[in-house]
């Protein structure tokens, strides 16, 4: 077996111990004589695993009693539509902060959903500059730049823009924008569970599992019970947040294998010391990568402003596209894959999610130094 050093943006690397555990339990899950995929989602063996995944999320994030953890399907993309469907009342409006490609998509879907259901959408702040192919996003706004409209149904932001490598820096001098009585909603698909967050500050956070916590097919929501209750009742039941909330995310058949894998990943994460340990590990990795970029300023350029540089998705350019192609190819020959930037922006992107080992990052940084010297 020759496993590569996987820097994919998503689906992305999973921790080897979580995969090995799945291998061990694959044919005979919980001594039931079948795999977890073959179980009824109402059976006690599956249910124990489902409950454990929820309990681990609550424990790791210190989720308060005011909030609950839900599993839904359709990807984070479906939530782009489902959030306004639930939460923008007739005649109401929702605010959006646009910091890159994913928040652009979230607004576009919200426009369609609210047009259908009698509401509106407002872009409260955008950091995009230029148009068309020249459009770029290189920073998250400072808290003072974002002001939620009085009475907005919510303010939505993307805490980490996976494609542009732009992340809200909420640990240094900056916090997420204060929104007063307006609920704050964050798409945390690509920076969920790499460090602690204060759940009580959010009405809703959500994350597609395939970036940092499991395989694709599951979305984790941490949502305030008040928002669930306020949700519209004139949309199909399957889209209402109260449906999974009232049924422990077992209203219909959930993606059982995906939730099982989340359980494995979270129990690995807890074993490593939980979110404080993960934060130290990830900050160190990001420090090594940005260090390798900044050590060769004539060769590597990160377009993102320093304070908004993503810890999870590190993007940079080389002098020319031919250099970038060669970089990706030579790295691949050394067992390092998934480094090509998103097709819409080009360049190089290193996704350094929780499961990416610090040793891989050290090896990549050494390669970057060598590659720059060779020119
Ligand atoms: C990947 C990603 C999405 C889309 O997730 P899907 O599960 O493919 O719908 C949305 N938002 C962010 C920030 C992402 O990184």
DSSP output for 152-202: -S-EEEESEETTTTEE---SSS--SPP-TTSPEEEE-TTTTTSS---GGG-
Residue 4 located in a structural domain: no
**Domain-ending residue, one of 209, 241, 270:** 270
According to the model, what pLDDT value does residue 61 have? 97
**So what's the pLDDT on residue 122?**
98
pLDDT tens-digit profile, the chain (375 residues): 789 999 999 999 999 999 999 999 999 999 999 999 999 999 999 999 999 999 999 999 999 999 999 999 999 999 999 999 999 999 999 999 999 999 999 999 999 999 999 999 999 999 999 988 888 999 999 888 999 999 999 999 999 999 999 999 887 556 788 899 999 999 999 999 999 999 999 999 999 999 999 999 999 999 999 999 999 999 999 999 999 999 999 999 999 999 999 999 999 999 999 999 999 999 999 999 999 999 999 999 999 999 999 999 999 999 999 999 999 999 999 999 999 999 889 999 999 999 999 999 999 999 999 999 997
Do 264 and 347 lie in one domain? The reply is no
Helices and strands: H and E segment counts in the chain = 11, 13
Q: Does ligand 1 lie within 6 Å of residue 102's CB atom?
A: yes
Q: Which of 270, 297, 317 represents a domain boundary (last residue)?
A: 270
Q: Give the residue among 282, 283, 340 at the shortest CA–CA distance from 316.
A: 340
162 CB under 6 A from ligand 1? yes
At residue 134, the pLDDT reads 83
Q: Do the domain assignments include residue 10?
A: no
- Minimum CA distance residue for ligand 1 atom 10: 76
Specify if 14 maps to a domain.
Answer: no
What are the E-state strand segments in 12-134? 67-72, 93-98, 120-126
Ligand 1 binding pocket includes 103 (Cβ within 6 Å): no
Query: Residue 144's domain is classified under what CATH number?
Result: 3.40.640.10
Rounded to whole angstroms, the Cα distance separating 373 from 330 reads 14
Atom of ligand 1 nearest to the CA of 208: 7
Nearest alpha carbon, ligand 1 atom 3: 76
Q: How far away, in angstroms, is 223 Cα from ligand 1 center? A: 18
On whether residue 198 sits in a domain, the answer given is: yes
- Ligand 1 touching residue 310 (CB < 6 A): no
Q: Cβ(76) to ligand 1 under 6 A?
A: yes
Instruction: Tell me, yes or no, whether 6 lies in a domain.
Output: no
Give backbone dihedrals phi and psi of 176, rounded to 5 degrees, phi first.
Answer: -60, 150
120 inside domain: yes
Q: Is the CB of 189 under 6 A from ligand 1?
A: yes
184 in the same domain as 238: yes
Catalytic residues: 102, 187, 211
319 shares its domain with 336: yes
CA of 190 to the centre of ligand 1 (A): 7
Q: What is the CATH number for 343?
A: 3.90.1150.10
Q: Is the overall model pTM greater than 0.95, yes or no?
A: yes
Establish if 173 belongs to a structural domain. yes
From 75, 83, 311, the mutation candidate for ligand 1 (largest count of ligand atoms within 8 A of CB) is 75
End position of a domain, from candidates 270, 299, 324? 270
Of 77, 100, 156, which is best to mutate to test ligand 1, by the most ligand atoms within 8 angstroms of its C-beta? 77
Question: Would you state the pLDDT for residue 375?
Answer: 77
Q: Is 338 in the pocket of ligand 1 (CB under 6 A)?
A: no
- Name the phi and psi angles at 283, rounded to 5: -65, -35
Give the domain extent around 44: 19-270
Q: Is 192 within 8 Å of 211 (Cβ atoms)?
A: yes
- In the chain, how many domains are there? 2
Q: Are residues 157 and 50 in the same domain?
A: yes
What are the CA-CA distances from residue 28 to residues 24, 31, 250, 253 (Å)?
Answer: 8, 6, 23, 21
Same domain, 222 and 352: no
Beta strands in the chain (DSSP E): 5-6, 67-72, 93-98, 120-126, 155-158, 160-161, 166-167, 184-187, 204-208, 219-224, 313-316, 336-337, 348-351
Q: Same domain for 252 and 334?
A: no
253 and 205, same structural domain?
yes
Do 56 and 101 fall into the same domain? yes
Query: Which residues, 6+ apart, have CB-to-CB distance to 35 below 8 Å?
Result: 26, 27, 28, 29
- Do 328 and 197 have their domain in common? no
Pair (130, 53) in one structural domain: yes
Q: Which residues contact 12 (CB under 8 A, 6 or more apart)?
A: 6, 210, 211, 212, 338, 351, 353, 355
Looking at ligand 1, which residue's alpha carbon is closest to its atom 13?
A: 189
């Amino acid at each position: 077996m020759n496993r590569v050093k996987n820097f994919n943006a998503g689906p992305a690397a999973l921790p080897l111990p979580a995969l090995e555990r799945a291998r061990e339990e694959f044919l005979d899950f919980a001594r039931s004589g079948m795999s977890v995929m073959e179980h009824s989602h109402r059976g006690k063996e599956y249910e124990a695993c489902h409950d454990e995944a929820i309990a681990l999320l609550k424990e790791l994030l210190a989720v308060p009693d005011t909030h609950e953890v839900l599993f839904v399907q359709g990807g984070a993309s479906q939530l782009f539509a489902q959030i306004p469907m639930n939460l923008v009342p007739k005649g109401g409006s929702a605010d959006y902060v646009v910091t890159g490609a994913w928040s652009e998509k979230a607004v576009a879907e919200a426009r369609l959903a609210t047009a259908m259901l009698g509401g509106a959408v407002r872009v409260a702040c955008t950091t995009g500059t230029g148009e068309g192919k020249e459009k770029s996003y290189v920073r998250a706004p400072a808290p003072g730049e974002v002001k939620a409209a009085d009475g907005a149904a919510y303010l939505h932001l993307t805490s980490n823009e996976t494609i542009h490598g732009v992340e809200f820096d909420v640990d240094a001098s900056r916090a997420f924008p204060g929104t007063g009585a307006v609920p704050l909603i964050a798409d945390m698909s690509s920076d969920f569970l790499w460090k602690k967050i204060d759940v009580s500050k959010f009405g809703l956070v959500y994350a597609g599992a395939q970036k940092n916590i499991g395989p694709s097919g599951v979305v984790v929501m941490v949502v305030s019970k008040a928002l669930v209750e306020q949700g519209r009742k004139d949309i199909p039941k399957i889209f209402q947040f109260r449906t999974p909330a009232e049924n422990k995310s077992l209203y219909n058949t959930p993606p059982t294998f995906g939730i099982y894998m989340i359980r494995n990943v979270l129990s690995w994460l807890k074993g490593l010391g939980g979110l404080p340990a993960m934060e130290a590990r990830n900050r160190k990795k990001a420090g090594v990568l940005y260090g390798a970029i900044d050590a060769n300023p004539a060769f590597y350029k990160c377009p993102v402003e320093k304070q908004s540089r993503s810890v999870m998705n590190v993007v940079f350019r080389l002098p020319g596209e031919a250099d970038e192609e060669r970089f990706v190819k030579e790295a691949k020959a050394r067992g390092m894959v998934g480094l090509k930037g998103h097709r819409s922006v080009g360049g190089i992107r290193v996704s350094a999610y929780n499961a990416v080992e610090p040793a891989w990052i050290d090896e990549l940084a050494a390669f970057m130094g060598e590659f720059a010297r060779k020119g």
